[in-house]
Amino acid sequence: MNDGKRLNTKASGIIAAAIMLSRVLGLVREVLFNAIFGTAAMGLFLIAFRLPNLLRDLFAEGALSTAFITVFSQKIEKEGEDSAWALASKMLTLAALFMSLVSLLGIVFAEPLVHLLAPGFEAADVGFTILLTRIMYPFILLVSLAALVMGLLNSRQIFTAPALASSFFNIGSILGGVVCGWIIDPRFGREALIGLAIGTLVGGFLQLAIQIPSLRKAGYRFVADFHWNDSGIQKILTLMVPSVIAASAVQINVLVNSRFASYAGAEAVTWLNSAFRLMQLPIGVFGVAVATITLPVISRIAADTDTSRFGPTLGRAMRLAVFLTLPSAVGLWFMAAPVIGLVYEHGHFTSQDTLQTALALQFYAIGLVAYSCIKVLSPAFYAINRKWTPMLVSFGSVALNIALNNYFMFHLGMGHTGLALSTTICATLNFAALYLLMRPAAQTLDSLKFFATLARCAIAAVPIALVCIAGNSYLPGLLPSESFPWRVVSVLATISLAVAAYLLTCLILRLDETHFLLEILRRKLGKPRTR
């Protein structure tokens, strides 16, 4: 039985599968919309969505979610369920009013915000982008409430519905976007992008609504509560202030990149977004899944008198993230062009778009391990009440990103690829700083085990590179044609062989995480535990 202070491996599998579904649906959405509208038109939509999406990361899935889960989990541990449910009602009431105000301000001040975000756009493009921004701003209200409900359910060890919520966002945005876009313009000209904006709101509503039945089943009944002079509310808000910056350093850097990319044209915005979307697959499936099950656990451990399990639990979570994401990084580097060509190159998305997106993806992939470990490590500081540490590190990360963007793009002439490289460098240094600062606080992170795991995974990833190189060089020539179905076969075969080679090498190197993974599979299959 899970006492709430151990990593729930079964839940990690459920979350990973659900996130994989969500990321695949997200890719379907990107592919469909890019094919219909082309990279230039989608660049306008992406800029319009950038601000609401950033606020989602800042307030909803970043600061608000992290702070709320931390305090709510500790509330259950110390004061019991009734007190925790009362805190939930107060926080939901406060969030609904505050995010409504944020949405209203975003609608009113959309024009200067778009000018700030995309100074390189032409006047006609700016006006249309402002309209799309105003339509989508209420998304932040819907997704903030959805994030709070997700935190409630995760803290109660209910993971399935929250994990599936993002999939319903993608389904709603696809169906709503296509239907509304067709109604506005059956030829799917630029005006049909308004339909995509409306579809975003439909998706946000579904993301919230799908979780409500599970919340009611858990025993919670919402009652509006305006008594915000509460120690729990104050603690959440106190945690949120630094977390607004710290938990979303990577996303802030993405926003900064969008501003710089606007000088290279709307196409560059789409290239970067498409590349980052593909990189979000392993981050979401592995990094976020591990982080989701880790935060409630370490929060409860931190609230206990015996905190000896804090460091080892956090260390194990990071080693698991490395084991899962490092091979993904190597695979994305060597398979960037074939995968992007297979996924995106349809309709108005051209071979040139594929090339430019692949270059961005390769530079993003270098930082994949760091991205995933930040997802695990950063929230841990809030569990031990060291909320200012990630914030200060993030200040440095954002400042460095701006400086590197300017240097790579305008002095070295690297264009959008320089922006991707800058983001990777900043994320890597961000993780390194957080890791060093966490070591004394956690007592032990099993650093020798961490770096040993990193080294062994790097060695095990060498066969991945060899398989990908061989697959890209020889496999297409062995296939009957270059048609889409045979390209799918080629890419899937290469990836499958690469995964098999990695796992086999990990077994030879006796990586603990490999045996841990196999043990989970044995349990799923109902086989007895090996000794």
Q: Which two tokens stand for residue 524?
A: 């799923």
DSSP string, 316-359: HHHHHHHHHHHHHHHHHHHHHHHHHHHHH-STT--HHHHHHHHH
The residue with tokens 């990321």 is 23
* DSSP label at residue 287: I
> What share of the chain in percent tops pLDDT 70?
85
Burial 404-442, CB ≥16 within 10 A → b, else e? bbeebbeeeebbbbbbbbbbbbbbbbbbebbbebbeebb
The pLDDT value recorded for residue 285 is 66
Task: Provide the pLDDT confidence category of residue 207 given band limits of 50, 70 and 90.
Answer: very high
DSSP string, 87-152: HHHHHHHHHHHHHHHHHHHHHHTHHHHHHHH-TTS-HHHHHHHHHHHHHHTTHHHHHHHHHHHHHH
Query: Are the CB atoms for 137 and 107 separated by under 8 Å?
Result: yes
Q: Which tops the pLDDT comparison, 219 or 1?
A: 219
The predicted-structure confidence for 11-32, as pLDDT tens digits, reads as follows: 556 666 777 787 788 888 888 8
Q: Which two tokens stand for residue 135?
A: 């339509």
Q: Which two tokens stand for residue 488?
A: 């799918």
pLDDT at 242 over 80: no
**CB within 8 Å of 150: residues ≥ 6 apart:** 65, 162, 165, 211
The predicted-structure confidence for 456-505, as pLDDT tens digits, reads as follows: 999 999 999 999 999 888 887 777 777 778 788 888 999 999 999 998 99
Q: Which two tokens stand for residue 309?
A: 């399990």
- Alpha helix stretches (DSSP H) within 345-415: 351-365, 368-383, 388-406
Least confident of 60-74, 307-321, 408-422, 436-450: 60-74
The predicted-structure confidence for 34-66, as pLDDT tens digits, reads as follows: 888 887 888 889 888 887 877 776 665 666 777
The pLDDT value recorded for residue 472 is 86
- Cα–Cα distance, 443 to 451 (Å, whole number): 17
pLDDT at 527 over 70: no
- Cα–Cα distance, 390 to 374 (Å, whole number): 10
**CB within 8 Å of 89: residues ≥ 6 apart:** 222, 223, 224, 225
219: left (phi > 0), else alpha (psi -120 to 50), else beta? left
pLDDT at 225 over 70: yes
Planar angle of CA 375, 241, 62, nearest 5 degrees: 30
Task: Provide the pLDDT confidence category of residue 530 given band limits of 50, 70 and 90.
Answer: very low
Task: Provide the pLDDT confidence category of residue 518 given band limits of 50, 70 and 90.
Answer: low
DSSP string, 189-252: -GGGHHHHHHHHHHHHHHHHHTTHHHHHHTT-----------HHHHHHHHHHHHHHHHTTHHHH
- Cα–Cα distance, 392 to 257 (Å, whole number): 21
Q: How many CB atoms lie within 10 A of CB 466?
A: 14
The predicted-structure confidence for 164-197, as pLDDT tens digits, reads as follows: 888 999 999 999 999 999 999 988 888 999 999 9
The pLDDT value recorded for residue 321 is 85
pTM attached to this predicted model: 0.70
* DSSP label at residue 3: -
- Cα–Cα distance, 265 to 252 (Å, whole number): 20
Count of alpha carbons within 13 angstroms of residue 246, beta-carbon side: 28
The pLDDT value recorded for residue 254 is 67
pLDDT at 297 over 60: yes
**CB within 8 Å of 87: residues ≥ 6 apart:** 71, 72, 75, 230, 232, 233
